[in-house]
A and B are shown apart, each in its own frame.
Chain A
Amino acid sequence: AQSVTQLGSHVSVSEGALVLLRCNYSSSVPPYLFWYVQYPNQGLQLLLKYTSAATLVKGINGFEAEFKKSETSFHLTKPSAHMSDAAEYFCAVKPGGSYIPTFGRGTSLIVHP
């Protein structure tokens, strides 16, 4: 069985500061990994995903994530936060061969002016 742990239910940063949202996973087989973003009163949309190609994955809106197999991590970063980045972020893992992803509990990103 797979699982996802997102450290920190809330992360607060100042505008212009580095954003780091942490995600650790467990999977018995090589996984596919995803970050989704949910803006207020909307559904989730894909930010980026790792599908066993490059370990550093670039997504939309300047976000990127690095797959580190030795650390079983897939942390999401952005060099400079914007006010518009305030949202809920979900990490998800899907083992190869499975059709059902498992989602983390989510991290709420708060951006201060």
Chain B
Amino acid sequence: NAGVTQTPKFRILKIGQSMTLQCTQDMNHNYMYWYRQDPGMGLKLIYYSVGAGITDKGEVPNGYNVSRSTTEDFPLRLELAAPSQTSVYFCASSYSSAGGGETQYFGPGTRLLVL
């Protein structure tokens, strides 16, 4: 089991460029999440998905888009990169059936720098 994998590990973007952050899990989890982590601010939820074909906005969705065409993959798209999107991005997954005490499993993160 590789768990949750993310690519790339690190990327530098110029303002206005686009990119896709990849996330894959091999645990057959139905729930997947994208968070951003900024120093001293904890984790902020960007988007989440409850299953293939279903996505919903989190706390800070502006400037991002997601899709979930398969159970395994949940890519995050930045269309017009801005300096405010400089952050560390984490993908996570969990198996949720009734909104209980499910553990989230996190990927290693993608560090993004927008200049």
Interfacial residues, chain A to chain B (CB-CB below 8 A): 9, 32, 34, 36, 41-46, 49-52, 90, 94-101, 103-106
Contacts and interface: CB of A to CB of B under 8 A. Distances in A.
Contact of B96 (A34, A41, A43, A99): A99
A100 to B, nearest CB: 7
Given A32-B101, A51-B100, A103-B43, A43 B106 contact: yes
Contacts of A50: 101
Given A43-B109, A105-B42, A49 B103 contact: yes
Contacts of A51: 100-101
**Residue of B40, B45, B101 most packed against chain A (CB within 10 A):** B101
Interface string B1-35: 00010000000000000000000000000010100
Given A50-B101, A51-B100, A100-B48, A43 B40 contact: no
Interface residues of B, number: 24
B16 to A, nearest CB: 28
Contacts of A95: 99
State the majority secondary structure of interface residues on A: loop
9 contacts: A9-B40, A41-B109, A50-B101, A99-B48, A100-B45, A103-B42, A104-B42, A105-B41, A106-B40
Interface of B: 4, 31, 33, 40-43, 45, 48, 50, 58, 90, 92, 96, 98-101, 103-104, 106-109
Contact of B99 (A97, A105, A106): A97
B27 to A, nearest CB: 14
A95 to B, nearest CB: 8
**Residue of A34, A36, A101, A104 most packed against chain B (CB within 10 A):** A101
